[in-house]
Structure 1
Amino acid sequence: MKLFVGIDVSSKKLDVCFLDSEDTRLKEETLSNDINGASKIKESILAYNRQFHYEKIVIGMESTSVFSFHPATLMGDDKDLQRIGAEVVVQNPKAIYRFKGLFEEDKTDRIDAFRIADFLRFGRYNKTVIKEEKYMALQRLTRSRYQVIQQLTECKQHFLENLYYKCNTLSNEVDTSVFGSTMMELFADSFSLDDIAQMELQELALFLQKKGKGRFSDPEKLAKTIQKAIRDSYRLGKVMQDSVDIVLATYAKLIQTLKKQVKELEKGIEALFDILPEAQCLKSVPGIGPVYAAGIIAEIGQIERFETQAQLAKYAGLYWKKSQSGDFESERTPRVRTGNHYLRYYLVEAANSVQRNEPVYREFYLKKYKEVPKYQHKRALVMTARKLVRLVDVLLRNHQLYTPKRSVQPKSKIAFESFQQTRTSVPVIGRV
């Protein structure tokens, strides 16, 4: 006899159904989503087990944002439930949704709890290893960094849009970043276009050099370029000019604030990441620094959660479905639009950095880049990220450091045989 406990989780309550392997509903109830409600579920499980001595107990719930974290963690870490071999699984809501679609019935929380238990009873669920607290703590930081980066990108887009109103030829004439503190102060707050255009060249060059702390190699040339861009630009009326200046100043402050927050988050990420045993494994790959490595590991957690690198790739959404029927097999295999987008983001960003620093990955990237006429960079980068998944899986699973591909020229038969034995006993991880 087996026991299946389905829990439908919401922010305030836990709807739970106790179902045995004979399809008998032992109990259905609604409890509060807090430590008291979760503890009552635990006590009911222990009581039923004392009565029926189940050979297997599975507790399942959907992964519902932050709401399922506390009950899943509490039950997964509970010593009494571990002692009787209770398994806690957190399932993809889409899998449960498809299963529910097989039945013509109402949609209520209590019915949802029963269908979750019923789904577990069929045994088609994915086994889940609940992430340890250290990975979840790191995940809070890496996901927040991702979200702040998205906000920063959006603010920069709005800043550029309004800067075009003020000086439409600037981006064509000036080859330095407009998001440096010097350029943002120059165009967002300090001076009007006419003020900048009428300044002595030496005075503007001195301002740029002082605000830029000497980083401009030729401030006089930059000053001349800026003044030319201003002379070639359209002029706004005073009302429109005042509005644009206010918007530019607002976004300039937002961008500076968000940049500061990114740095603070990255400091926190590096401090927490260094205590993880997997840290050195990924940091040993050329191009992967602590932030990208932390983002990847925070989403993966224990690598034992995934049986193969293919499962890991599918979890990241780096997976292409086959389409085959009879003798026909489609050559078009679009990438699935599901998966963990945080993990995919950090894998793609890391792949872009690795292909610039590691010859093996650079060669692979260029090969994929040349295969198609459109979306070359985007496609090549995603394919490189998929290749990187294999490497990440090997390094984390074997607790190894990355070993670059080497070109070895044996000079004798003995040296060659020794070389072959070395390759057999210690595989070169760089060749994935």
Structure 2
Amino acid sequence: MNLFVGIDVSSEKLDTCFLNSEDHILLKVSLPNSLVGARKIKEHIFQFNELIRYDRIIVGMESTSVYSFHPATFLAEDPELKSLGIEVAVINPKTISRFKGIFDEDKTDEIDAYRIADFLRFDRFNTSLIKEEKYVALQRLTRSRYQLICQLTEMKQHFLENLYYKCNTLTQEVDTSVFGATMMHLLTDSITLDEIADMPLEDLVTLLQEKGRGRFSDPEKLAKSISKAIRDSYRLGKVMQDSVDIVLASYAMMIKAVNNQIKEISKAIEKLFEIVPESKSLLSIPGVGPVYAAGIIAEIGQIERFENEAKLAKYAGLYWKRKQSGNFESERTTISKTGNHYLRYYLIEAANSVARYEPVYNKYYSRKYKEVPKHQHKRALVLTARKFVRMVDALLRNHQFYAPERSA
């Protein structure tokens, strides 16, 4: 006889259903999502186990990010529950949703908790290990950095849109990045474009050297290209000009602030990454730096959470569903993107970098690129990332450093 505990997790509640192997509901209870509520679930488990010594005790809940983290960790790490051999399963919400779709019934938290417990009875789930604290801590940092990078990209896009109003030919004429400190200062300073255009070339060169601290290799060429861009650009009216200047100045401040935040988080990632034992294995791969390696390890956690590299690839959403019926076998299959999109992002970006440094992956990418006439780069890159998963899994599982001959 087994005991199944289904928990429907929300920010405030833990709706819990205790079910046995014969589909008999032992208890339905709604508890607070706090230490008090988790301890109450623990008490109920011990009470039921005293009446009947269960062969297996399985607790299941949907993966709801921050909401399920604390109850799952508490129930999995509690020493007294461990003595009972308790299993904690954190299940993909889409899996539970498909299972509940079989039944024509209402949608309530109480029913959801029962269906989670009912799903556990079929034993079609994986009770993967809960991530250790250092991996979760690293994940908080890498995901925050990822979000800041996305925000920074969006800010730069808006900055360029408004810059086009002010000086529409600047990005075409000037070779250097407009997001450098000198260019940003020049574009958002109180000095107007007309004043820059009328400025003697020697004075503009001196200004660029002063603001750039002598970093420009050819300041005279840069000064000429800036002057030309200003002369060739359209002019705005006074009202429009003032509005655009305010917007550019605001975005310049935000871009600078976000860049500083990214630097601080990157330092924290590097510091924490040093104590993660798997870090050296991934850093030994040509083209994989601290950012990609930390992102991959933060999302994977202990490699023992996955049975094999196929399960790891599926977790990242790097797998293709087979389509077959009778004698028909479809050659066109679409990639599934239902997995961890953070892990998929880091694997694809890392594979793209590895393909530039490692001949084996470069040849593989080139071969896949030539196989189809459409979407060549995307398809080849994703397939290269799938190949890269096998190497990541082998290095982490065997605690090895990368060796080219082993990948051949």
Give the TM-score normalised by the residue count of structure 1.
0.92
Residue 41 of structure 1 is matched in structure 2 by 41
The amino acid that maps onto 2:404 is P
Distance 1:174 1:131, change over 3 A: same
Distance 1:379 1:204, change over 3 A: farther
The amino acid that maps onto 2:199 is M
Residue 257 of structure 2 is matched in structure 1 by 257
Per-residue CA shift, 1:179-200, capped at 9, x if unaligned?
1111111112242110111111
Q: CA–CA distance in 2 between the matches of 1:161 and 1:337?
A: 32
2:133 pairs with 1:129: no
SS in 2 for 1:287: coil
What are the within-5 Å matches in structure 2 for residues 16-415 of structure 1?
Answer: 16-405=16-405
Q: CA–CA distance in 2 between the matches of 1:374 and 1:198?
A: 50
The amino acid that maps onto 1:181 is A
- Where structure 2 has 5 or more consecutive residues not aligned to the other structure, the ranges are none
The amino acid that maps onto 1:354 is V
Per-residue CA shift, 1:93-123, capped at 9, x if unaligned?
0000010011111111011000000000111
CA offset at residue 127 of structure 1? Answer: 2.1
Q: CA–CA distance in 2 between the matches of 1:9 and 1:358?
A: 45
- After the TM superposition, which of the residue ranges 10-19 and 195-204 deviates more from structure 2? 195-204
Q: CA–CA distance in 1 between the matches of 2:132 and 2:274?
A: 16
The amino acid that maps onto 2:398 is N
SS in 2 for 1:67: helix
- Where structure 1 has 5 or more consecutive residues not aligned to the other structure, the ranges are 406-427
CA offset at residue 212 of structure 1? Answer: 2.0
Per-residue CA shift, 1:110-151, capped at 9, x if unaligned?
110000000001111122211111110000000000000000
SS in 1 for 2:61: strand
SS in 1 for 2:307: coil
Q: CA–CA distance in 2 between the matches of 1:15 and 1:79?
A: 23
Per-residue CA shift, 1:255-276, capped at 9, x if unaligned?
1111111111110001001101
Residue 6 of structure 2 is matched in structure 1 by 6
Q: CA–CA distance in 2 between the matches of 1:73 and 1:398?
A: 27
Residue 419 of structure 1 is matched in structure 2 by none
Residue 421 of structure 1 is matched in structure 2 by none
SS in 1 for 2:54: coil
The amino acid that maps onto 1:400 is Q
SS in 2 for 1:175: coil
SS in 1 for 2:4: strand
Q: CA–CA distance in 2 between the matches of 1:324 and 1:139?
A: 38
The amino acid that maps onto 1:32 is P
The amino acid that maps onto 2:205 is A
Q: CA–CA distance in 1 between the matches of 2:326 and 2:374?
A: 31
RMSD: 1.2
CA offset at residue 208 of structure 1? Answer: 1.6
- After the TM superposition, which of the residue ranges 206-215 and 58-67 deviates more from structure 2? 206-215
The amino acid that maps onto 2:248 is L
Q: CA–CA distance in 2 between the matches of 1:313 and 1:202?
A: 59
Q: CA–CA distance in 2 between the matches of 1:209 and 1:332?
A: 57
Distance 1:234 1:375, change over 3 A: farther
SS in 2 for 1:106: coil
Q: CA–CA distance in 2 between the matches of 1:287 and 1:209?
A: 34
The amino acid that maps onto 1:247 is V
Per-residue CA shift, 1:253-307, capped at 9, x if unaligned?
1111111111111100010011011010000001111121110000000111111
Per-residue CA shift, 1:63-121, capped at 9, x if unaligned?
01210000000000011111111100100000000100111111110110000000001
Q: CA–CA distance in 1 between the matches of 2:365 and 2:214?
A: 37
Equivalences, count: 408
CA offset at residue 374 of structure 1? Answer: 3.5
Per-residue CA shift, 1:20-57, capped at 9, x if unaligned?
00111011101111001100100110111111000111
